[in-house]
Every structure is written in structure tokens, then in C-alpha cells.
Amino acid sequence: MPTLDDVRRIAAELPGSEERTSSSGASWLVRRKPYAWECRPWPSIPDDIREIVARELVVSVMVERPIDALALVQMEPAVFLRTTTPWNEPKVSFRMAGIELDHLAELVTEAWRVQAPKYLRREFDGEG
């Protein structure tokens, strides 16, 4: 099962990425824009989702469009959660216990791409 250390390792390879830790848990940002974060069982989360977040590691990542999150939830509803909070949309949350390491890397990297400026994406892609 991947851990937050795996998220850290993946994020460390992304240009301009930084990690912040607060009472909300760990989060990863690029140019002060969050792209991945550890979920907490906030009161604003629906009860059934809050129970999952309270007992296991759940991470959220930014997605380009709401339909992207919906597609992931529909493909793997046991792994991807339909919603957590209305903040930072569009996003998708997922149970780390159900994610493969290569899929985690893809999710984190694509979330970074959603928030990263063009010059950092070009740098990452070796274009500049």
C-alpha cells in the first residue's frame, strides 16, 4: 500500500513543488496552488465519507475537469470517493489502500500539471 512518503517522493520530482504540513495534514503545492493533500474528517464531509477518512489514509488531488473525477469514481467506486468537501474543486479523493503505486504517480503528476504554470510543465517535459 502506498504511503504519504510515496506522495512525497513523487512530488519531490516535480519542478516547483513544495510540501506544507499543518493541522490539516500534509499538502503539496506548486506556485502556492495546492494539487494534492491528505484528507481529514471535517464535519462538512458527508457522514459516510467522513467515516472512511477517519479510519484510513485518504488523499485528494486536483483534476482538470469535474467529469474526470466522476469517471474515476464510476470506474473504481471502492477506491475513489464521490466527494469530501466543496473546496478546491474539481478534485477527486481516493483511498490509498486501494491505489497502485504507478497509478498514484499518475494521479499526483496530473494534479501537479493542472496547477503548474506552462514554464514548469515545459521544464518537466524536457522542452525548455
| 87 DSSP assignment | S
Structural domain for 53, as ranges: 4-122
Mean confidence (pLDDT) of the chain: 94
Q: What is the pLDDT of residue 88?
A: 76
Residue 55 belongs to a domain = yes
Residue 51 belongs to a domain = yes
Rg of the chain on CA atoms, in Å? 14
Residue 127 belongs to a domain = no
Residue 128 belongs to a domain = no
Q: What is the CATH number of the domain that holds 98?
A: 3.90.1150.30
Give φ, ψ of 61 to 5 degrees.
-135, 150
pLDDT value at 86 more than 80: no
What pTM was estimated for this model as a whole?
Answer: 0.94
Taking only the tens place, the pLDDT of each residue in 8-63 is 999 999 999 999 998 789 999 999 999 999 999 988 889 999 999 999 999 999 99
Q: How many domains does the chain have?
A: 1
CA distance 89 to 10: 22
Give φ, ψ of 13 to 5 degrees.
-90, -5
